[in-house]
Amino acid sequence: MLTAGIVLLHLLGIVAAMHAVMHTRTPQGAIGWALGLLLLPYVTLLPYLYLGSSRFLGYRSGHKLRPAALAPTSTNGHAIDPGCARFAAISALQGRPFRGGHRLRLLIDGVAAFDAMLAAMAAAENYLLVQFFIIHDDELGRRLQQLLLQRAAAGVRVCVLFDGIGSHALPQQYVDTLRAGGVAIHRFATHRWRNRFQLNFRNHRKIVVVDGVCAFVGGLNVGDEYLGLKPPLAPWRDTQLELRGPAVADLQQRFAEDWQWITGSLPPMLAPAPGTGEASALIVASGPADELETGSLFFTATINAARERVWLSTPYFVPDHSVRAALQLAVLRGVDVRVLIPARPDHRTVFLASTLHAYHAVRTGIRVFRYQPGFLHQKALLIDHDSAAIGSMNLDSRSFRLNFEISALVVDPAFAGEVETMLTTDFSRAHAIDEREYLDAPYLRRVAMHVARLFDPLL
């Protein structure tokens, strides 16, 4: 029986290795999985079952024929900033145009962001669409819970999505209390049978839509740590964006697609109010159901469009080959390229890999800085003098191809000026990295960095 079991495992390993060769996106990943499955199937079969797939099967096919309620809105006659033209590839990638007429508010850090989001939710009259990667049952989580219950009791339709892995610690009682109070709440899960065993494909999006009038997108989840209340990572540095205008409909659509995947029905939606601002915006959504690697292509295209500067803020600096090459080419064009990363780790393997990538980046002329006051979690991108993006996308493989992500790309000199002021302050609180950070590290720590980099496709 033992011999039969070993033979069976090796046969399954051969079948899984064939699957890996056929379906893994990169040659390096295919080689790694295939060798492991052929030589050590008793060690690698189970991880491959949970981590091996690179596609979220079924999601896209389930949305080939979208209801008319999900159709993109028109530009409503608002002028589009001419600077949007250089991001035409991203617009084509999304299958939708830039829209004009937006009013925007940059919300810096958790207190300002949640004051604005909770106040907007409290004023909801028709419906609330709320989606977070993480919801904790702590003081902030209970504030959100009570507000949602109040609005549901007032007759507002409330729809809530949270990620099943990101919110793994959320007690069932928290969810049951909301359901008993009339809130429609569901966990985003890979519940279709072909994805049932996958730990990848997390829904990392953060979206709040209020009555179709205003929406929020950014890096903040629901938990006391995002208010800077939990050492050793406090104070927590993050950014959120409030939008009013036509792009609110696009955020509604993305929420509706996720909601329909889980529930089979559509959430309530209204057309957004006419835009009264000047900013042009494009909602950029990415995920493992996309035919192309949308996340990586988004960063590559925006960096390649830069002629003056690229300022990036990211908690995880694990660029793939395309993004790394785009950054290096920008330096060669004379672009001011700066990357802001944390000085404190929240995930040590990612931090080690990021440190090695930072070393290689500095050697090619990219300026890399470590933010000192606390943990840096913001995902902000500034291109030249007129363009900026705020959202949930990290600079790592998970955001490039494994997670569902959402960001707003804005072309507006006034808003870009606000982001410039914000990042200038952040850089003033950071220390520049040089090659000595890596070269002066103990030998075993450098070895650990190179070992961590082997896991780039999963970080």
- Is 176 assigned a catalytic role? no
Nearest-angstrom CA–CA distance, 251 and 303: 24
- What is the pairing mode between strands 387-391 and 380-383? antiparallel
Q: Which residue among the candidates 206, 290, 412, 426 is catalytic per the annotation?
A: 206
Q: Which residue among the candidates 102, 136, 357, 377 is catalytic per the annotation?
A: 377
Nearest-angstrom CA–CA distance, 356 and 351: 9
Q: Which residue among the candidates 136, 379, 396, 456 is catalytic per the annotation?
A: 379
Q: Which residue among the candidates 137, 211, 412, 456 is catalytic per the annotation?
A: 211
CB-based contact 273:103 (threshold 8 Å) = no
- Is 63 assigned a catalytic role? no
- Is 230 assigned a catalytic role? no
Q: Which residue among the candidates 238, 250, 290, 384 is catalytic per the annotation?
A: 384
Secondary structure tally for the chain: helices H, strands E? 15, 15
CB-based contact 423:392 (threshold 8 Å) = no
How many C-beta atoms surround the C-beta of residue 274 within 10 A?
A: 12
Q: Which residue among the candidates 102, 204, 426, 456 is catalytic per the annotation?
A: 204
Q: Where are the alpha helices (DSSP H) in 311-392?
A: 321-332, 348-363
Phi, psi dihedrals of residue 126, rounded to the nearest 5°:
-115, -55
- Is 23 assigned a catalytic role? no
Nearest-angstrom CA–CA distance, 6 and 120: 60
- Is 377 assigned a catalytic role? yes
- Listed in order, strand segments (DSSP E) in 28-133 are 99-108, 127-132
Task: Take residue 119 and report the two structure tokens written for it.
Answer: 């106040």
Q: Is the dihedral of CA 436, 441, 443, 445 positive or negative?
A: negative
- Is 384 assigned a catalytic role? yes
Task: Take residue 237 and report the two structure tokens written for it.
Answer: 């540095």
Nearest-angstrom CA–CA distance, 83 and 284: 17
Active-site positions read: 204, 206, 211, 377, 379, 384
